[in-house]
């Protein structure tokens, strides 16, 4: 055991192939089967020498790396002798990374591609990468990479490991910002790729970035109304031309586009592209949404759209669309504004003169419509004047003269065109109540119509109302009136008759309730016979039954005719019949006498005999006594 020489095994942290890139640190471990002997291990290569003494049989050296393929020697020395062991470190290494070039324009449009290959295989004077002198045996590989201004390099996607970056690979590589493209070269041995310390060829690509334009408009959220024109614009940029599109159709060139009313009827896409002569911006779009148009109808709720001055009325506006809409009423009394999303709105107003009322609608999309209606206001200036020749009436008399117009009613200067209509009324209670005189609708009132009111017993007011009328609407009633005076009733007379009315004597009849100032007139069987407070029928002038009448007069009025039936009686002629033979009766026997009278007025008969007196009354012209 103590006579052994060192027995060495060398291993590195590089693996069994001992391949590393230039100047890359690694460790080398010496394993010695000689145990428990103090052994010195000396590692050397080139001018580098390092020694360790150990009794463990293991020594590890940390090396800063080698720059070329290098043989490392380790000498182990113990009391029994020394041993040398060598290992080779392989270093694949590039001398240069070659050159690249392309014929494609290196200023491209946003989102564009490089249109030709980037060569590095000798084409266009380019060159491939080469291995350095002293490099271990290796192959050369490539990786194409790009980076933006601030980001690290990343591999170009696709087939990007050849010496030339092909057109096919570049055709799918869209570029949106300035980038640098480089070709990284590697010296490859086994699984180790080395490119330390090499400057890689690169080219810079500049993107001509045309800023996407911004569309501005006078729409509301790009809602459009088919009956309106609109303007769309964008900020002017020097050297840039703007192209406007509706769908796929170019419709304008310039910094603005006017969309005439009626151009579109359904939703359309408005597009805008900026072009600087080489490159275009992205297509900027806005959806033009065609909003429903307000379509208004207005009703006033008035007959013939006519209202009397100052009266309130309500108009109803109906809209064919029901978006949130502002409705503005304009009329001589000033504007009113309401919002509605029901498609209907009402306004209450009043007017004093004829005028147009209009309602304008502005929907939330900015679409408009207006509806107009004329409201008529008939107005009367004066009621006119009336007159009559009728004097005061006697109590119970009827009117005997017409009421005629001395001045027709007139319209005001600011009245709507209207007709003037009339109505007649009368009042017998001091204007507390009025009764319509049916059928009277002209400016005059006929005698026959007035007479139909019948006998009047109180003062009666007759008025004519005039109206400014359109259709069945009557406005501004104005009236004029006449009072027909009625005299108080006269006291009807009474007749006071004499106690008897025999034809053989004068018979005087008197007014029983004489009123001073009255003239009384007497009639007999309807014929005037006398004037005065009394009337005398002279004896022997008449006899029989008559109708005596009397009435009083005061001014032009008279009382009612009071009548009484009178009987002027001729003297009675009596005949008596006893019914006895020879007018002879036995003493004490009763008998009946019959008295016959030539007249049959109510008469009292008195029988006088030795037996005393008997009295009876009869109006038959006959009476009996027993």
The whole-angstrom separation of Cα 175 and Cα 206 is 9
Q: What is the pLDDT of residue 64?
A: 95
Confidence of residue 35 (pLDDT cuts 50, 70, 90): low
Give me 323's structure tokens: 């978006």
Residue 213 has a pLDDT of 96
pLDDT digits (tens, 9 = 90+) for 228-271: 999 999 999 999 999 999 999 999 999 999 999 999 999 999 99
> Given a cut of 50, is residue 335 above it in pLDDT?
yes
Q: Is the pLDDT of residue 401 over 60?
A: yes
Whether residue 147 is predicted with pLDDT greater than 50 in this model: the reply is yes
pLDDT value at residue 1: 38
pLDDT digits (tens, 9 = 90+) for 434-453: 999 988 889 999 999 999 99
What residue has token string 């209009």? Answer: 358
**Residue located via tokens 């009132």:** 445
Tokens 């570029």 sit on residue: 175
What are the backbone dihedrals phi and psi of residue 170, each rounded to the nearest 5 degrees, phi first? -70, -25
Instruction: Give 200-258 as a 3 state SS string.
Output: CCEEEEEEECCCCCCCEECCECCEECCCCCEEEECCCCCCCEEEEEECCEEEEECCEEE
User: 471 vs 570, which has greater pLDDT?
Assistant: 471
Q: What is the pLDDT of residues 495-535, one digit of tens each?
A: 999 988 888 899 999 999 999 999 999 999 999 999 999 99
Q: What is the pLDDT of residue 36?
A: 66
Q: In order of start, what are the domains of the chain with their CATH numbers?
A: 8-89 (2.60.40.10), 94-208 (2.60.40), 216-290 (2.60.40.10), 296-375 (2.60.40.10), 380-484 (2.60.40), 495-568 (2.60.40.10), 574-625 (no CATH)
Q: Answer yes or no: is pLDDT of 356 > 50.
A: yes
221/366 Cα distance (integer angstroms)? 10
3-state secondary structure of 501: coil
CA distance linking residue 169 with residue 179, whole number of Å: 16
Task: Report d(CA 331, CA 347) in Å as an integer.
Answer: 11
Percent of the chain at pLDDT > 90 equals: 80
Return left, alpha or beta for 411; rule: phi > 0 is left, psi -120 to 50 is alpha, else beta: beta
Region 590-594 average pLDDT: 89
Query: What integer pLDDT is reported at residue 4 of this predicted model?
Result: 63
Q: What is the DSSP string of 521-542?
A: EEEETTEEEEESSEEEE-TTS-
Model confidence over 93-139: pLDDT tens digits?
999 999 999 999 999 998 899 999 999 999 999 999 999 998 999 99
CA 172 and chain centroid, separation: 57
Tokens 């009763």 -> residue? 590
What is the rounded CA–CA span in Å between residue 63 and residue 50?
Answer: 10
- Calculate mean pLDDT across residues 72-101: 94
pLDDT (0 to 100) of residue 278: 87
Q: How confident is the model at residue 578 (pLDDT cuts 50, 70, 90)?
A: confident
Mean pLDDT of the chain: 93
Percent of the chain with pLDDT strictly greater than 70: 99
pLDDT at 599: 76
Q: Which residues contact 456 (CB under 8 A, 6 or more apart)?
A: 393, 396, 397, 398, 399, 428, 484, 486
Q: Tell me the two tokens of residue 608.
A: 């006088």
Model pLDDT, residue 2: 45
For residue range 185-233, list pLDDT tens digits in order: 999 999 999 987 889 999 999 998 888 999 999 998 999 999 999 999 9
Per-residue pLDDT reduced to its tens digit, 465-499: 999 999 999 999 999 999 999 999 999 999 999 98
């Amino acid at each position: 055991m103590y006579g052994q020489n060192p027995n060495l095994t060398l291993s590195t942290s590089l693996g069994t192939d001992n391949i590393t890139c230039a100047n890359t640190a690694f460790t080398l471990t010496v394993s010695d089967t000689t145990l428990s002997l103090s052994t010195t291990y000396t590692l050397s290569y080139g001018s580098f020498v390092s020694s360790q003494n150990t009794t463990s049989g293991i020594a590890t050296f940390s090396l800063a790396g080698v720059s070329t393929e290098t043989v490392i020697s380790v000498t182990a020395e113990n009391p029994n002798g020394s041993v040398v062991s060598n290992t080779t470190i392989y270093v694949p290494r590039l001398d240069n990374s070659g050159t690249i070039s392309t014929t494609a324009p290196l200023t491209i449009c946003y989102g564009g591609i490089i249109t030709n290959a980037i060569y590095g295989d000798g084409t266009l004077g380019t060159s491939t990468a080469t291995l350095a002198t002293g490099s271990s045996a290796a192959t050369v590989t490539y990786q194409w990479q790009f980076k933006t201004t601030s980001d690290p390099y990343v591999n170009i996607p696709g087939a990007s490991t050849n010496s030339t970056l092909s057109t096919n690979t570049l055709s799918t590589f869209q570029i949106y910002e300035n980038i640098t493209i480089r070709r990284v070269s590697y010296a490859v041995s086994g699984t180790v790729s080395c490119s330390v310390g090499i400057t890689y060829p690169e080219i810079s690509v500049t993107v001509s970035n045309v800023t996407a334009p911004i569309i501005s408009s006078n729409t509301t959220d790009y809602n459009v109304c088919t009956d309106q024109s609109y303007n769309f614009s964008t900020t002017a940029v020097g050297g840039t031309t703007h192209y406007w599109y509706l769908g796929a159709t170019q419709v304008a060139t310039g910094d603005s586009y006017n969309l005439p009313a009626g151009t579109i009827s359904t939703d359309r896409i408005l597009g805008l592209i900026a072009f600087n002569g080489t490159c275009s911006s992205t297509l900027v779009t806005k959806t033009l949404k065609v909003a429903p148009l307000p379509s208004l109808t207005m009703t006033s709720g008035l007959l013939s759209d006519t209202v009397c001055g100052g009266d309130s009325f309500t108009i109803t506006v109906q809209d064919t669309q029901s978006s949130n809409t502002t409705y503005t009423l304009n009329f001589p009394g000033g504007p009113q504004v309401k919002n509605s999303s029901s498609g209907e709105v009402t306004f209450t107003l009043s007017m004093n003169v004829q005028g147009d009322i209009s309602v304008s609608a502005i929907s939330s999309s900015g679409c408009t419509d207006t509806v107009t209606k004329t409201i008529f206001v008939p107005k009367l200036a004066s009621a006119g004047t009336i007159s009559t020749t009728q004097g005061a009436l006697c109590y119970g008399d009827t009117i005997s003269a017409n009421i005629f117009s001395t001045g027709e009613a007139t319209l005001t200067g600011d009245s709507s065109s209207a007709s003037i209509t009339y109505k007649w009324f009368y009042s017998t209670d001091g204007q507390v109540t009025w009764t319509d005189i049916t059928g009277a609708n002209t400016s005059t009132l006929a005698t026959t119509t007035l007479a139909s009111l019948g006998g009047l017993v109180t003062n009666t007011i007759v008025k004519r109302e005039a109206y400014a009328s359109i259709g069945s609407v009557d406005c501004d009633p104005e009236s004029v009136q006449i009072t027909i005076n009625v005299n108080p009733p006269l006291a009807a007379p009474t007749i006071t008759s004499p106690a008897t009315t025999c034809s053989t004597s004068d018979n005087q009849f008197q007014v029983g309730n004489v009123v001073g100032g009255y003239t009384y007139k007497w009639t007999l069987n309807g014929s005037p016979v006398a004037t005065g407070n009394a009337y005398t029928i002279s004896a022997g002038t008449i006899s029989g039954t008559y109708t005596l009448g009397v009435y009083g007069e005061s001014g032009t009025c008279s009382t009612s005719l009071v009548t009484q039936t009178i009987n002027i009686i001729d003297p009675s002629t009596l005949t008596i019949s006893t019914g006895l033979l020879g007018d002879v009766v036995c003493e004490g026997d009763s008998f009946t006498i019959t008295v016959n009278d030539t007249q049959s007025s109510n008469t009292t008969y008195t029988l006088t005999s030795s037996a005393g007196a008997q009295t009876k009354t009869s109006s038959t012209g006959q009476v009996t006594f027993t």
